[in-house]
């Protein structure tokens, strides 16, 4: 279940903004790690201008065929949560967002 499946009013009832939320993005297979890092950073930065690249940690799968990025994002309001979630899901290098 992604953030896009939670009504915004419900999310606002569950958390107090600003809030630090880890977001995980999984890459498509066999792409370049640096390209994936740059993509998730750029997408996130469009919606959360205070987001820093150092808040991204990337792990490679055991088979080495894909990457998972954990983004530690401090969201100032609920609209940012939905915007980042939707933008990451729409990006061609991203397979899934958790």
| Structure-model confidence comparison of residues 11 and 95, the more confident one | 95
Instruction: Find out whether 70 and 62 touch, Cβ atoms under 8 Å.
Output: no
Taken in order of first residue, the domains within the chain and their CATH numbers are 17-97 (3.30.70)
Max CA separation in the chain (angstroms): 40
Q: How confident is the model at residue 57 (pLDDT cuts 50, 70, 90)?
A: very high
Tell me: the pLDDT tens digits for 25-54?
999 998 999 999 999 999 999 999 999 999
Instruction: Find out whether 71 and 44 touch, Cβ atoms under 8 Å.
Output: yes
| Residue 2 reports pLDDT greater than 90 | no
Instruction: Find out whether 87 and 2 touch, Cβ atoms under 8 Å.
Output: no
Q: What is the pTM of this model?
A: 0.87
Q: According to the model, what pLDDT value does residue 6 have?
A: 55
Mean pLDDT of 80-93: 96
CA pair distance 89, 13, nearest whole angstrom: 24
Average pLDDT of every residue of the chain = 91
Which residues 6+ apart lie within 8 Å of 16 measured at CB? none
How does strand 19-27 pair with strand 67-75?
Answer: antiparallel
Structure tokens of 8? 């915004």
């Amino acid at each position: 279940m992604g953030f896009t499946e939670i009504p915004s009013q419900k999310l606002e009832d569950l958390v107090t903004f600003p809030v630090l939320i880890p977001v995980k993005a999984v890459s498509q297979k066999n792409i370049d790690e640096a390209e994936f890092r740059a993509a998730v950073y750029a997408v996130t930065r469009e919606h959360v201008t205070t987001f820093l690249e150092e808040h991204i940690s990337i792990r490679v799968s055991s088979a080495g065929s894909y990457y998972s990025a954990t983004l530690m994002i401090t969201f100032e309001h609920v609209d940012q949560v939905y915007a980042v979630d939707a933008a990451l899901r729409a990006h061609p290098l991203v397979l899934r967002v958790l």
